[in-house]
């Protein structure tokens, strides 16, 4: 099994969803809604959610690598900080 370095940053094609994967069973999602960003914290308790995290970590569409700086900028807008 491949060892991943966390946190890992990804975006969904189209750039409206950013992800910070912190462990193999947790991630934060920033979702763009109009002009603002909404933060969702997800604990993957169910098997399908864990599979989704593994898919996010693969270097293939629909998930693309994201720079930490882009995550940080969107996170600051979502949290007001």
Distance of CA 4 to the CA centre of its chain: 14
Rounded distance, CA 49 to CA 43, Å? 8
Rounded distance, CA 81 to CA 66, Å? 20
Global pTM reads: 0.91
Rounded distance, CA 2 to CA 57, Å? 10
Residues 15-48: tens digit of each pLDDT: 899 999 999 999 999 999 998 999 999 999 999 9
- Cα three-residue angle 29-44-39, rounded to 5 degrees: 20
């Amino acid at each position: 099994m491949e060892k991943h370095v966390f946190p890992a940053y990804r975006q969904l094609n189209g750039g409206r969803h950013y992800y910070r994967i912190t462990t193999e069973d947790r991630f934060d999602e920033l979702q763009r809604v109009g002009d603002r960003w909404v933060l969702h914290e997800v604990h993957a308790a169910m098997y399908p959610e864990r599979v989704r995290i593994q898919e996010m970590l693969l270097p293939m569409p629909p998930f693309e690598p994201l720079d930490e700086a882009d995550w940080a900028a969107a996170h600051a807008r979502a949290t007001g900080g």
